[in-house]
Structure 1
Amino acid sequence: MASHLPKSAEQALLKDVILLLWGPSLKEDVFSRWTQGFVFSEKTNTALVQLQGGPCAIIAPVQAFIVKCALFKGGNCSIDALTSVSAERANQLLVEALYEILSQLNSSQYILVSLSKHLPSVESQLSAEQLKCEENGETSTPSIQDESNNTKRALTALNQESFHANLKFHHCSDTDELHRSLEKSLPEFQSKFGVLLYLYSLVLSKGVRQIKNEVEDPSEPLIDGIYGHGSQSLINLLLTSQATSYVWDNDKDISGLKLRGLEKQSTIGFLSLLEHLRYCEVGWFYKNPKYPIWLLGSETHLTVLFSTNENLVVKDNPSINARHVFSQFDSEGNGFISSSVLEEVMKLLDLVADKEYVDIMREKMDSEHLGIITRNSFMEEFFPEEPPEQPRSFHLYHYNGIPHSCPGGKVTFVEAYAILDEEVETQFITDTSPIKLCLQTKWPSIELTWTNKLTPSLN
């Protein structure tokens, strides 16, 4: 149903959303990079196309959920379930992906944003024209390319002004209504402002105040004001429903400052080239998601990696849960906890925690009376089973939504055959491609053979 909020309340809420996303000043060129719909490639009709740099923070997560819905929702893990489908099925997968990202917020109500009226015809045509030109190797539409810079700036300003002046809110009381509304609104999400409409819907459904409570610095906008890149908090919001600013597991205490990471195993994973460069630490929850699908982060872009082999990920089990409860009391990652907190750890894991038994276990695991209990001794005592062994060879698929970063300028899924060597070879390293360096943060000994003989780009 349409919003019944007073117009002044809607305007105040929208102002908060704009400030949270863009900061106090929204540049015309940054806004223009985000003005596109969710449009599919001409070559592969389930692969989303990204027209300009910036909106990968939305497009790549949505693409990852499209993969998840195609491969793992109906019990058919064949790649054909993703690549050999009708246009109608592709649209269904897009609806399911948009729905899953919103529904995992578990909000009391969901808000979908739409445009109250059509903008000038030149505006509505741009997404389709841009897509055609991008995949044909052109940089912009001929009609726009010949215009002066002043005209371009005026057109972009009109876009921004018209967009924010014509937004309307639709409240969905439950997930059933949300799904129906998404189906009905799909053409609008595929049109000129579709990505922005979905972004605003996500922020409003989550709540501006709640997002500010979860990010590390509420004064920092979710989208970079200069380059238009989405922040890690925005990426985390789409992947996990939590707008935390870090990619490690649980919370970390750094000099008395509590820094929030992921609370649980994510549906979609995340690997980062920045971890190879030692700029960040990606935790177990992101490296081992529920499904073998990962976002790959470079310095400036997001792509998607996935496999049809579910054995690549470790399902949550008591042993894994124990490791993460233990890590909550080892916030600095030293591999040990104070022996004084053993009773509390055992209670959280529903282990026998009678005082006499706890004292016996404390004496056994801290026989030298150092006042610490190591993670290895704790796991060997209470959870001695080994996790299942991973496959040593498997197929991977990579997606990059930017046409000029793809072979032949066509967005599609590129296949690789991967082998995990028994030992990491250090003497003869010939492949130092960014994508391999990124994957080595999860699989240190991985070797890749790309079927088209071309190493895909992370940018």
Structure 2
Amino acid sequence: MEKQPADRAQKAPSFKQMELEDITSKISKLDKWRAIFSSQGLENNRPVRKTIQDTYKEGEENEEKPKTSRSKKHGTFPGSVLYSIPRELIISSDLGGQPITIEMAMELRKILFGNTFQTFNYEWKKSFFKFREAFSNLAYSLEAEKGGTRAIQMVVQSHIIKHLLFTKDGQEHSSFKSLSEISHKQQERALAASLADIIWTTGAMKKAIVCLITNESYFSESPNYKTDNFTEKLHLFEFVEKDKMEEFLCAHIHCFKDEGSHGVILFLYSVLFSRKILRVHHDLDHTTAHLLHFCLGNYTVRQAVLNLILTGRASPHVFNGDQILEEQKLEQELHGVLTRSDVGYLHWSRDEMEQHKLPQVGSMLKTPKYPIWLCNINGMYSVLFGTNTSLLCDWKMEHIFDLYFYSGQLSQTKTVHLTVDTHSHLWEGRFKAEEGDHEKKFPSLEMTVRTKWEGAAINWNGTVPFF
């Protein structure tokens, strides 16, 4: 008799023993997904943290397994269908706002993927805005994993730096040291303020939309639309005052910064709805049909997404203004950047340099309003920043000055401190004295800085040069 409970426990199906292959191959309707989730306790009141960790682990295990016919068709793996959002990150539909419609969801899918059947993969769903430890060397910084969401996280990172150094509480300037004195609450406020800044700018500083997830689906799967179990639950909150929106974001910041929140996707949705999908289409040109690119098993953002977050306009190119391209006796208009933004952009790639395809970033992005730049270095996104706003408006400040670099990688334990000297000509002397391709002999970070300050000598102040 004493062994019976143990026997029953051994026979009871566990979370990992679910028949995933059978589920993913035979079930396609949303009501059946709900039944599966409910039967496994993914929508009951079990401890939230355990549910999320179990789901992550299940997804990671299945990522290594051969994909079923269904997963090949939709570009996902079986573990992704079990991704559950914790109840504490789901708001009540009585809070206000308006529910998403299937027409809105279809337009959202088309502008992102080019069709209504592709959905975000596991990496995107698990991405959120996570700070490093408070009151540490990197208290101001976000963790950004390698992958498709990193670019968006690092643009938000650049706005967090802007807020903490230059715009917090109406102050004009803070020291670099202040970035290591950030509390947990200050991190949350900085994230809310940064998200508000970006979303408000994409709404032309007149009207903005914040997207959150409710506990009910507003439409089900159809022949023309594949559900993902969270886009169908979106509630859209409209604001005509930036302060009100920032207060709302502060109150619901956990919906963007907690594990399981789909925080990066919710932010991207908010940006797109604030800009309006039709206007985003007008921002694009013939070179860009949709915003995400599938490459090496993951979705990466195109330049139009970065420009939308940086400038409020989803222009596909980084040069100044719009240009006319004459191609096969046809004139095609290419859309570039029209105005200076708060945060700039720098680009360097050894591969593109060798192929003579390095994009010519215009002065609008190279000279932002604040000394902060999103950097695309060999396809990896990072942030370069200074603490002196005079650097961008007083040429005398550009003789010798300090810049700071953060890569977003967990391996970085402190901010890299660079000293830039634009008048010494030491770098040019080394270049003339050495044979071969000089651009291969210097770290890519240095070459990135020189796209803004040509010929500058750079002191790493004790850090071993990398990139």
Normalization by structure 1: what TM-score? 0.68
3-state SS of 2:230 partner:
helix
Relative distance call for 1:92 and 1:214 in structure 2 (3 A) is: same
Alignment partner of 1:176 is 2:243: yes
| Distance in 2 separating the partners of 1:451 and 1:422 | 17
3-state SS of 2:384 partner:
strand
Bigger relative CO (Cα 8 Å, ≥ 6 apart): 1
Which residue does the alignment assign to 2:402?
395
CA drift of 1:16 comes to: 0.9
Which residue does the alignment assign to 1:269?
344
Relative distance call for 1:189 and 1:118 in structure 2 (3 A) is: farther
Alignment partner of 1:62 is 2:62: no
Relative distance call for 1:268 and 1:34 in structure 2 (3 A) is: farther
Structure-to-structure mapping, 1:208-247, within 5 angstroms: 208-217=277-286, 220-226=289-295, 227-247=298-318
- Letter of the 2:163 counterpart: C
Alignment partner of 1:111 is 2:209: yes
Which residue does the alignment assign to 1:253?
324
| Distance in 2 separating the partners of 1:199 and 1:89 | 23
CA drift of 1:99 comes to: 0.9
Which residue does the alignment assign to 2:111?
20
Pick one of 115, 125, 131 that aligns with 1:40.
131
CA RMSD for the aligned pairs?
A: 2.6
Relative distance call for 1:27 and 1:401 in structure 2 (3 A) is: farther
Cα deviation digits, residues 132-191 of structure 1 (max 9, x gap): xxxxxxxxxxxxxxxxxxxxxxxxxxxx82222322222223223211211111011112
3-state SS of 1:161 partner:
coil
Cα deviation digits, residues 349-377 of structure 1 (max 9, x gap): xxxxxxxxxxxxxxxxxxxxxxxxxxxxx
2:416–2:463 contact (8 Å) kept in structure 1: no
| Distance in 2 separating the partners of 1:25 and 1:402 | 33
Alignment partner of 1:309 is 2:406: no
| Distance in 1 separating the partners of 2:183 and 2:247 | 21
Relative distance call for 1:428 and 1:210 in structure 2 (3 A) is: same
Which residue does the alignment assign to 1:135?
none
CA drift of 1:312 comes to: 2.1
| Distance in 2 separating the partners of 1:428 and 1:271 | 28
Which residue does the alignment assign to 1:98?
195
CA drift of 1:29 comes to: 7.5
| Distance in 2 separating the partners of 1:25 and 1:449 | 50
Pick one of 220, 230, 239 that aligns with 1:163.
230
3-state SS of 2:420 partner:
strand
CA drift of 1:34 comes to: 4.9
CA drift of 1:214 comes to: 0.3
Pick one of 165, 172, 175 that aligns with 1:71.
165
CA drift of 1:108 comes to: 4.2
CA drift of 1:221 comes to: 2.2
Which residue does the alignment assign to 2:102?
11
1:239–1:268 contact (8 Å) kept in structure 2: yes
2:288–2:316 contact (8 Å) kept in structure 1: no
- Letter of the 1:11 counterpart: I
Which residue does the alignment assign to 2:254?
187
Relative distance call for 1:435 and 1:108 in structure 2 (3 A) is: same
| Distance in 2 separating the partners of 1:182 and 1:416 | 35
1:272–1:282 contact (8 Å) kept in structure 2: yes
Structure-to-structure mapping, 1:403-442, within 5 angstroms: 403=410, 406-407=411-412, 410=413, 412-423=414-425, 424-425=428-429, 426-428=431-433, 431-442=441-452
Cα deviation digits, residues 243-266 of structure 1 (max 9, x gap): 001111112222132212111222
1:34–1:52 contact (8 Å) kept in structure 2: no
- Letter of the 1:240 counterpart: T
CA drift of 1:232 comes to: 0.5
Structure 2: state its 5+ residue gaps.
1-94, 218-226
Which residue does the alignment assign to 1:448?
458
Which residue does the alignment assign to 1:321?
none
CA drift of 1:418 comes to: 1.9
Structure 1: state its 5+ residue gaps.
120-159, 315-386
Cα deviation digits, residues 364-419 of structure 1 (max 9, x gap): xxxxxxxxxxxxxxxxxxxxxxx74342211111111132xx34xx4x42212222
Cα deviation digits, residues 22-78 of structure 1 (max 9, x gap): 232766774524531110113522200113411123111111111111111122331
- Letter of the 1:441 counterpart: T
2:211–2:266 contact (8 Å) kept in structure 1: yes
1:272–1:438 contact (8 Å) kept in structure 2: yes
CA drift of 1:313 comes to: 1.0
- Letter of the 1:64 counterpart: S
- Letter of the 2:305 counterpart: L
Which residue does the alignment assign to 2:145?
51
2:132–2:143 contact (8 Å) kept in structure 1: yes
3-state SS of 1:220 partner:
coil
| Distance in 1 separating the partners of 2:117 and 2:409 | 24
4+ aligned runs moved over 3 Å, structure 1: 25-31, 274-278, 387-390, 428-431
2:105–2:232 contact (8 Å) kept in structure 1: no
Cα deviation digits, residues 242-291 of structure 1 (max 9, x gap): 10011111122221322121112221111100485542111111111111
Relative distance call for 1:107 and 1:417 in structure 2 (3 A) is: closer
Relative distance call for 1:287 and 1:22 in structure 2 (3 A) is: same
3-state SS of 1:225 partner:
strand
Pick one of 361, 376, 379 that aligns with 1:282.
361
- Letter of the 1:112 counterpart: V
Structure-to-structure mapping, 1:368-383, within 5 angstroms: none
Which residue does the alignment assign to 1:153?
none
Matched positions, count: 338
CA drift of 1:117 comes to: 3.0
Relative distance call for 1:254 and 1:241 in structure 2 (3 A) is: same
